[in-house]
Structures are given as C-alpha cells and as structure tokens.
Structure 1
Amino acid sequence: MEIENIGKITRSAKESEVEKKWWVIDATGKTLGRLASQIAKIIRGKHKPYFTPHIDCGDFVIVINAEKVQVEGKRVEKKEYFNYTGYPGGAIFRKFKDLIKTKPEFVIRHAVWGMLPKNRLGRRLIKKLKVYKGDYHPHSAQKPEKLELPYS
C-alpha cells in the first residue's frame, strides 16, 4: 500500500535562511513583566511566520532607558532578587528599589531570562538582548528600527 503525495509539506526554517533585524525599545514608563514578555517573544522569533522551536529565528533587541522601567503596587518595596555565593551564610537578598538605581540592566535581563528556554538555545538567545541605562547605545551601525510595543 503506497501513500500518495498530497503536496502539502510542513517546512522548518533553516538557520541560514533566517533574516535577523535589530529593534530599539524605550523602557520609559513600561511595566517590567509586560516589557519582558514582549522582548522574549521577539528574541525567540515567535512573531515570525516561519518560527521553528529549535532554531534561533529571533531578532536582536536593544533596550534603552532601563532605569525608567516600573513595577506595579508595592513591588517596588517588596520584590527581592536572590543570589547565593556558595558559602555558608552567603545568601544575598537585594530589593528592586536598590537594584534599579545601581544595576537597571540586570533587572530587565533577569526578567527576560526567566521567560526564555533553560537550555543551550536559551543561553544563545539571551546574548541577543542589549540593555542600556540612558538614551545612548553603541549599535547605530546595525541600523536598528524603533519598535512601539502593543501593550505596556
């Protein structure tokens, strides 16, 4: 018994066929979680019609004004980031309000990393995120386009 060729084939994208663009997103007044979920979607490539889960088909994202990102309600005071040095008594808890002043890049990168796959592809994708404090970024040679996010 032979199966006839219907002619419809699901085609996977190849890494060499993927077009990668550069986007600039202004984080001023944006909510951290909503911003991070949209950035993760762009970095992963889910907005493209030829998205393939095991291929890096996403775009590069530049986030400017990272220090102006916001969180809702009492999270400014209560949200904590945890780090453990590996030594007894080496647990470090840092609050959002302190980190946003000293390392605003870490806050956005940490939120996006939580929304990417935890494997080799995810580690490769997070390198496509460039976060900067203030308006300046050194990627003007890549000719990034400004991207207005649908919800903030």
Structure 2
Amino acid sequence: MKTYLAKKETVQPKWYLIDAEGQVLGRLAVKVANIIRGRNKATYTPHVDTGDFVIVINASKIALTGKKEEVTEYMSFSGYVGGEKYRKLTEVRAKKPEFIIMQAVKGMLPKNYIARKMLTKLRVFPGAEHPHAAQNPIKL
C-alpha cells in the first residue's frame, strides 16, 4: 500500500466562517490554525498547503481568561536603536482587534515559508459584516 501525498494542484480549498463572540482566544486560535494548515483533513501533507480559508467575525468580542487582559503586551521593533514599543492588549483591542487573533494564529503555525503563505488565508473582521458572502462560507 502506498502513502498518499497531496499535490498543490489537487487541493480544493473551502471557506469557513467562525464567530469569535464569547470564545476564548487560545482555543479559537487552535481551531483556526488547524483548518488553515489542513490538519482537519485526511489528506493532510506537511509540506503541501492543503488548508482552507477561514473568516473570523466579531474579533472585538473575543474572551480572555484570567488576568491576560491587563498583563499581555505586544512588542514591536522599528529596527533602530531604542526602537522597541510595547502596547497593552487593552490598547490593541480598542484600536485594531483583528491583530490579536492574527498574532495568536501566527504563533501556532510553523515558522517557515509555507506558514507565511497559509496566514494569507485568514481573514479577520472586528464586526459581524464581511465581504466574502460570494464564497458561501460554511459556518462552524
């Protein structure tokens, strides 16, 4: 019996819609990362992008457990000396709530070229509206 290896040409990606309202950030990010990688399919192949597209709505209403709301900080670096900036999660949630989910999912993907391509299949929106109705996403 031969081992099946998926090919880029044979993969038929689907679209999924996930409502983040009231869901815990880490648990949601695991689900999204597995769908984007294709880990939920029987045809999963690590070196081929077999994943599907994911639309996450209501990103501003994501839940966090414990004291993560006050303690969590995001660091950015400009490349210059003294160019580090730290932002609290509360600030990020007020200005750009989709960044929180994007970073959580990015941290759960492998750190390589194919993962950067996979991350482009994630679409996050702060509200309930999204422009991808034509793709007929399957609601999870």
TM-score, normalization: structure 1? Answer: 0.90
Instruction: Tell me the residue number matched to 1:27.
Output: 20
Cα-Cα RMSD: 0.7
Structure 1, 79-88 or 125-134: larger mean CA deviation: 79-88
1:63 to 34, 40, 56: 56
Aligned mates of 1:70, 1:81 — CA distance in 2:
17
Deviations 1:91-148 (A, max 9, x none): 100011111111111110010000111111001000000000111000011111101x
Find the partner of 2:75 among 66, 69, 82: 82
Equivalents in 1 of 2:68, 2:111: separation in Å?
25
Matched, 1:73 2:66: yes
Cα drift, residue 86 of structure 1? 1.4
Where do residues 74-113 of structure 1 align in structure 2 (5 Å cutoff)? Answer: 74-113=67-106
SS in 1 for 2:101: helix
User: Counterpart amino acid of 1:92?
Assistant: K
Task: Name the SS of the counterpart of 2:128 in structure 1.
Answer: coil
| Percent of paired sites with the same residue | 51
1:54-103 CA distance string (max 9 Å, x none): 00100000000000001111110010001111122211000111111111
Which portions of structure 1, spanning 4 or more consecutive aligned residues, are displaced by more than 6 angstroms? none
Q: Distance in 1 between matches of 2:3 and 2:84?
A: 49
Task: Confirm whether residue 122 of structure 1 aligns to residue 115 of structure 2.
Answer: yes
Q: Within 2, Cα distance between the matches of 1:117 and 1:75?
A: 24
Q: How far apart, in 1, do the equivalents of 2:78 and 2:56 lie?
A: 29
| Separation in structure 2 between the aligned mates of residue 10 and residue 71 of structure 1, nearest angstrom | 41
For 2:6 and 2:120, the matched residues in 1 are separated by 21
TM-score normalized by the length of structure 2: 0.98
Task: Kindly provide the amino acid, as one letter, of the partner of residue 56 in structure 1.
Answer: D
Larger radius of gyration: 1
Q: What stretches of structure 1 of length at least 5 have no aligned partner?
A: 1-7, 148-152
Q: What secondary structure, in the 3-state scheme, does the structure 1 residue paired with 2:74 have? A: strand
